[in-house]
Amino acid sequence: MRKILVTGAAGFIGFHLSRRLLTDGDAVVGLDNLNAYYDVSLKQARLKLLEESENFRFFRADLADREALKALFAENGFEIVVNLAAQAGVRYSIENPNAYMDSNLLGFLNILEGCRHQRVKHLVFASSSSVYGANTRMPFSVHDNVDHPLSLYAATKKANELMAHAYASLYRIPCTGLRFFTVYGPWGRPDMALFLFTRAILENRPIDVFNEGRMKRDFTYIDDIVEGVFRVLARIPEPNASWRGDSPDPSSSFAPYRLYNIGNNRPVDLMEYIEVLEEQLGRKAVRNLLPMQAGDVPATCADVDDLTAAVGFRPATPITEGIRRFVAWYREYYRC
């Protein structure tokens, strides 16, 4: 039985990953601050399901609380730490930048320090497809530099990758960063497009469609994300013997450090995504076509060859099936 810390355990991905780990027989300590970025009752409902397992313990704290994090690490012999807690959202980062400094930078530093002092065997942390920023070469590859973020959120995620590399180099802490691509599915975040569209359509309100719908996204179903993370946990990174400082590969290092994309590798037109949702709901959406929002990008697509080579897994859930499952959950949960 592995003892694993999952931060952001009441969040969308953290909940699903924790449930998978518990099913597999691991002992999970879940950390979350249950902030009000979105409906706290949804987070509490996720936690209630996790607490049905005797191998789950919940610890409420903020990542930025240095003393609380220090005590948590000191009192538990974590083998693995999965950091999924962060202030999410590209657009929200433009309106509330300080929240991202506290959670995504100071909070991540506290995680790194806990891993350092307690000699954690593997730190796996969430990055984001947002780090690709102004990059336009598709598919997005972990071997390309990502030095032109378009939002503060993206910049903090890039900073997390750099901070983790520094600790991997200085203290030999094995670190793996995972760049997630537009995650969706049951128990999803209410600020994400699928949730917003579904709620608006069922309430007979227009949906906001940015860039007038001329968008492509590598929508990735939650079960595929969790499977990728689960497999990576056992793949402890080692130094890359062929890494060269005169031609540095961003995806690996002379230190025990790796980066992977987790995406569906099948970009979908936003309008097609909406059409599939309309079919599942049995209703048509009234579309409010709007210009591109600040910090957004027109398209994303993940190169997942490195992930497949490392852990033998490639996300494959089609959007028709993923959206069907989401709608079924939404109708049951909200009784509509």
> With contact defined as beta carbons under 8 Å apart, do 26 and 50 qualify?
no
Number of H helices, E strands in the chain: 12, 13
Q: pLDDT tens across 107-135, in order?
A: 999 999 999 999 999 999 999 999 999 99
Q: Is the model's pLDDT at 15 over the cut of 80?
A: yes
Q: pLDDT tens across 130-160, in order?
A: 999 999 999 999 999 999 999 999 999 999 9
Mean pLDDT of 160-175: 98
DSSP classification of residue 139: S
Q: Are strands 216-217 and 268-269 parallel, antiparallel or unpaired?
A: antiparallel
Q: Is the model's pLDDT at 1 over the cut of 90?
A: no
And the tokens for 255?
A: 């230190």
Q: Give the pLDDT band of residue 95 (cuts 50, 70, 90).
A: confident
What pLDDT is stored for residue 96 in this prediction?
83
**Which residues are annotated as catalytic?**
153
Rounded to 5 degrees, φ, ψ at 58 are -110, 135
CA distances from 102 to 62, 193, 336 (A): 9, 26, 37
Sequence-distant (6+) residues with CB within 8 A of 48 are: none
The SS3 assignment for 180 reads strand
Q: Give the pLDDT band of residue 294 (cuts 50, 70, 90).
A: confident
Mean pLDDT of 20-42: 96
Task: State the Cα–Cα distance between residues 136 and 128, nearest whole angstrom.
Answer: 16
